[in-house]
Homo-oligomer: A and B are copies of this chain.
Amino acid sequence: MSGTERVPKYERLRRRLTDHIDRLPADSPLPTERELTTRYGVSRATVRQALDALEAAGLVYRVQGAGTFVAEQTVSKTLSLTSFSEDMRRKGLVPDSRVLVADETPADEHSGGRLRLSPGTPLIRLVRVRLADSAPMCLETTYLVAERVPGLLDLELTGSIYQVLAERYGVNLVRADQAVRSVAAGEEQAALLGLAPRAPALRMERVAYDERGSAVESTVSLYRADRYEIRFTIHREAT
């Protein structure tokens, strides 16, 4: 890693504007696109590319014929694809894991079906109790396509798997389909999570894909309802 990082102009402009916006009250007008053009010495297309990103992030809103304005602050951000570790750190908690199972197993209809694999395809299976600040937060069963992550079981598995996938295997998970349900924890599950039997839990099912749309990871997470909630921002579709 050398110190040179290629950062496009529109990205640099976006960051400068983000810092600027954070210090402005809601509904403050931003400079006009043409003024930003001269102020930062870039073309209007570049300015618009930066503003497009800010608008998509919900930081500003634009009114044709009037201008661009600071939006009221959103409580949360768009829900993004993160690993458990990243998620917890973002919340200010210290993540950890207790590995219950780590082995290789052929795909059956359950695990392979979600990954759209034929039965028998080798999968890495991880069953972990995920801890936050040393207390159980969630019970997680993960399947990974073994072919994509050779030797994974020989590694430390306490940190962020997504980071390992990216750095060691060049596998970048960019998209995931999720399904969220409310369930009553089973006896065994409740015991592992430190809950009373039949206590409510949040069940999250996820299939994550790489850039090309190939399924790589399938995870079922069971979160303690008293410790976890999902927060996110959604938008109205145009179509």
Contact = CB atoms under 8 A, between A and B. Distances in A.
Interface of A: 26-27, 45, 58, 61, 63, 69, 71-76, 78-81, 172-184, 198-203, 207, 209, 211-215, 223, 225, 228-237
Number of this chain's copies in the assembly equals 2
A121 to B, nearest CB: 16
A200 B178 contact: no
Contacts of A69: 212
B175 A234 contact: yes
B213 A26 contact: yes
10 A-B pairs with least C-beta separation:
A72-B213, A182-B182, A182-B225, A71-B213, A182-B202, A81-B236, A180-B230, A80-B237, A181-B229, A182-B200
Contact of A182 (B45, B71, B73, B183): B183
13 contacts: A27-B212, A27-B213, A72-B213, A74-B177, A75-B207, A80-B235, A80-B237, A81-B234, A81-B237, A178-B232, A180-B202, A182-B200, A183-B225
A233 B175 contact: yes
A181 B181 CA distance: 9
Nearest to A206: B234
A201 B179 contact: no
Contacts of A233: 175-178
